[in-house]
Structure 1
């Protein structure tokens, strides 16, 4: 069983996204939930507002399915199982191949809440983001242009 980790200082995904190291790909997926209370669904889970949340409504397990093009339910297997005790803040769950330490390629991510704190019924999740590393250019390995001076000259006009 893997242990989730809070995003360490200096590894803020939003900051990494601004530098071009990673990009958020959740908008490229089809999201579905096993259940939700009215007004507490996928839109609230993806709206970048930490005041809103998804709230499940029904029997467990509570599921969040994130499907990318090419998905098929018969071609997936369990990758990680995490136990979280009263989680708070951003929880970073790395999806790396355990042999090669490279990011996995997948068509579907499923988050399954099997049990709640103190045998509670409903689950609350504030946001889910899916980040992927940005691949290096095939033209060559040049440093990323992140300063304003470099950014002015990074394209041919």
Structure 2
């Protein structure tokens, strides 16, 4: 199994780069004015709001296999309690039909940035092409 370079956690986190622009994004549904643009605009007062039945999904498709180390989400339960996720599932695969769950997180009234680090094993064993 490949391993990560020997570095401290701080060194590792400071070496991360934003790769969201490399992906094609899609949503399970969205209310008008609360879609991908609002999800990705770096403005904490705008947000994605689903307009359909569960499960609510955000799907990223990368043009080639891509290593993902950390996923950061900004969640504001106090502002949007009925739509704030309680469970986050991270999945990867070569296409939507073969996605495998890498990690599931239970959230309780999250308020602010939620960091979802993938373990060295998850990083080494799974490169993302389609991710959900």
Pick aligned residue for 1:37 from 2, 12, 31? 31
**Aligned counterpart, 1:84:** 107
Q: CA RMSD in A?
A: 2.3
Larger radius of gyration: 1
Give 1:74 deviation, angstroms: 3.1
Q: Supply the distance in 2 between the matched residues of 1:107 and 1:49 (Cα, whole angstroms).
A: 27
- 2:129 is aligned with 1:107: yes
Q: Say how many residue pairs are matched.
A: 93
> With structure 1 as the length reference, what TM-score do the two structures score?
0.52
Q: Which has the higher strand share?
A: 2
CA distance in 2: counterparts of 1:97 and 1:31, whole angstroms: 25
Q: How does 1:2-151 map to 2 (within 5 A)?
A: 16=14, 21-70=15-64, 71-98=94-121, 102=124, 104-110=126-132
- Return the offset for 1:69: 1.4
Runs of 4+ more than 6 Å apart: none
1:73 Cα deviation from its structure 2 partner: 2.0
Match of 2:97, SS state, is helix
What TM-score results when the alignment is normalised by the length of structure 2?
Answer: 0.61
| Higher relative contact order (CA closer than 8 Å, sequence separation 6+) | 1
